[in-house]
Chain A
Amino acid sequence: MNGAAVLVRRVAVLLALPTALIATWWITSAGSQSFYFPPLQTILETFVKLWLSPQAVPNVVPSLLRFAVGYFAAAFLGIAIGIPVGASRHLRNTLEPLLEFLRAIPPPVLVPVLILFAGIGDEMKTLVIVFGCIWPVLLNTVAGVRALDEVLAETVRSYRIGRFARLWHFVLPGASPQIFTGLRQSLSIGIILMVVSEMFAASNGIGFALVQYQRTFAIPEMWGGIILLGLIGIVLSLIFRAVEAWLLGWYYGLRRAQRAN
């Protein structure tokens, strides 16, 4: 009984401000004559009609597909390259300034560059996402592998644990908290690149649709697209958190136990 009351209270506290904000938006925009800020009711009606219907499929699916392919390719390549670089001091010293430079290039400038090589099709957009997302993963993997526990490394060596087992049971888990930091940074970069590459040159996709609505002054539709992108950002970060909690549960548990001491 008491537990339920606490839960209700907690949910109420979580929802209080968002509800108040949305209600304020709803009320202040109701009957709004402003061209750029239509009533929230109109926006939501358009949103449901436009983006929560089969009509949205030709734009939403290609976007998310390109994002997924690019993001996972970047994650795989970043980890695969990061591990040998992190493990060898010479390789690390040689490549670190170059990697820092490549990482510092703001990823959206890759859009015009890659248009030269790959045109304006799916390849270009996926490649843009790969090139933009790889650096945080790569550099964090390098840092994670570098900071592996030395005693454990010696132990693994003493027991002559094979290459593959060492990678799977020692290197990857040991570096995973850092790798996830990189993956999290890449997630938001990937979403930015997904949208920007479609805004720049495309024939489908959410970013493409958004620009079309804006250019034709279809304002409620445009607001609907903004809401959709917001929701995608939120859902992806929730999924990421769930995966992280699942794969790194042991690590956070360990940290909590250490802090309790």
Chain B
Amino acid sequence: MAADTTNAPAKIEAGTPAWLRGLGGLAGFALLLEIAPRVGLVSPYYLPPFSAIMVALFHELMSATFWTALSDTMRAWALGLAISLIAGVVVGIIIGSSSLLRTLTYSTIEFLRPIPSVALIPLAVLLFGTKIESTLILVVYASFWPVLIQVLYGVQDVDPVARETARCYGLGTFAQIRYVIWPTMLPYLMTGVRLAAAVALILAITSEIAIDTQGLGREISQTESGGAVAIMYAYVIVTGIIGVIVNLGARALERRLLSWHPSIRLDTAGAVR
């Protein structure tokens, strides 16, 4: 293990490139999904061959149902994430800027945070039925906490000298937030955004499965109970692809917004430590 890390630079040139190996891994998995049902390892009713799933996916891509479901899911995700971001940043800056508020709210935040958002499902159903508000309650409750916690860390990390300097130069509250707190907080916030974006997607789909609000999750549970198994798998693959896009997008955004920050600059130079 040690040998292959120390010799790594020399070997990378010679061996198969990493992306090709990764592609091979994905292709191998697809092949497994194709062969397992064909040789009877699993019943093709439970797991249709990969090619059948792809055909189903192709058909779905042509249908309006798919695109409506996709846009419903993404709308709930984006709205919920936006609400948590704004609320998390505003509340985080207010609480984080005062040590009194920080100590007073600490126990309450630590108490509310681990409450699973799915506990709110029955309440959401009673209040909003299967409307988008039900999804939003779950999404916002789940993704608000990572944002808030990261913003609190970030605001606490502000250099006292920088803060005093800003105050001496007579910067107003908003100028202080903009030029002193924001740049310090941004790396922390981006970590929060990354976590929140993934959690928001999970909860959006959860709500569609458990509450039956419009979206991809509902299509999955309906195609399952309707016996359209290949279509169900097609939707599962789509949710996975969306998940990957969300993760990669959040990471790309982080790198772009923080290109000036030492952690990213070092990372791209290869010196992680």
Q: Which residues of A contact B (CB under 8 A)?
A: 13-18, 21, 36, 87-90, 93-98, 100-109, 111-113, 115-117, 147, 150, 153-154, 157, 188-189, 191-192, 195-196, 199-200, 207, 210-211, 213-214, 217, 219, 222-223, 225-226, 229-230, 232-234, 236-237
Q: Could you say which residues of chain A place their CB within 8 Å of the CB of B217? A: 106, 108-109
Bound Cα distance from A195 to B142, whole angstroms: 15
Bound Cα distance from A222 to B127, whole angstroms: 13
What secondary structure prevails in chain B residues at the interface with A? Answer: helix
A16 — nearest CB in chain B belongs to which residue?
B104
Q: Which residues of B contact A (CB under 8 A)?
A: 1-2, 4-6, 8, 15, 18, 21-26, 28-29, 42, 45-47, 103-108, 111, 113-123, 125-127, 198, 201-202, 204-206, 209-210, 217, 220-221, 224-225, 229, 232-233, 235-236, 239-244, 246-247, 272
Bound Cα distance from A102 to B236, whole angstroms: 10
Q: Could you say which residues of chain B place their CB within 8 Å of the CB of A192? A: 116-118, 202, 206
Contact across chains for A214 and B125 when beta carbons are under 8 A apart: yes
Contact across chains for B115 and A233 when beta carbons are under 8 A apart: yes
Contact across chains for A89 and B8 when beta carbons are under 8 A apart: yes
A235 — nearest CB in chain B belongs to which residue?
B114
Q: Could you say which residues of chain A place their CB within 8 Å of the CB of B107? A: 14-15, 17-18
Bound Cα distance from A243 to B221, whole angstroms: 37
Q: Could you say which residues of chain A place their CB within 8 Å of the CB of B46? A: 116-117
Bound Cα distance from A195 to B120, whole angstroms: 11
Bound Cα distance from A189 to B127, whole angstroms: 25
Q: Taking the nearest CB of chain B, how far is it from the CB of A197, in angstroms?
A: 10
Most B CB within 10 A of own CB, among A15, A89, A153: A89
B112 — nearest CB in chain A belongs to which residue?
A230
Q: Could you say which residues of chain A place their CB within 8 Å of the CB of B45? A: 116
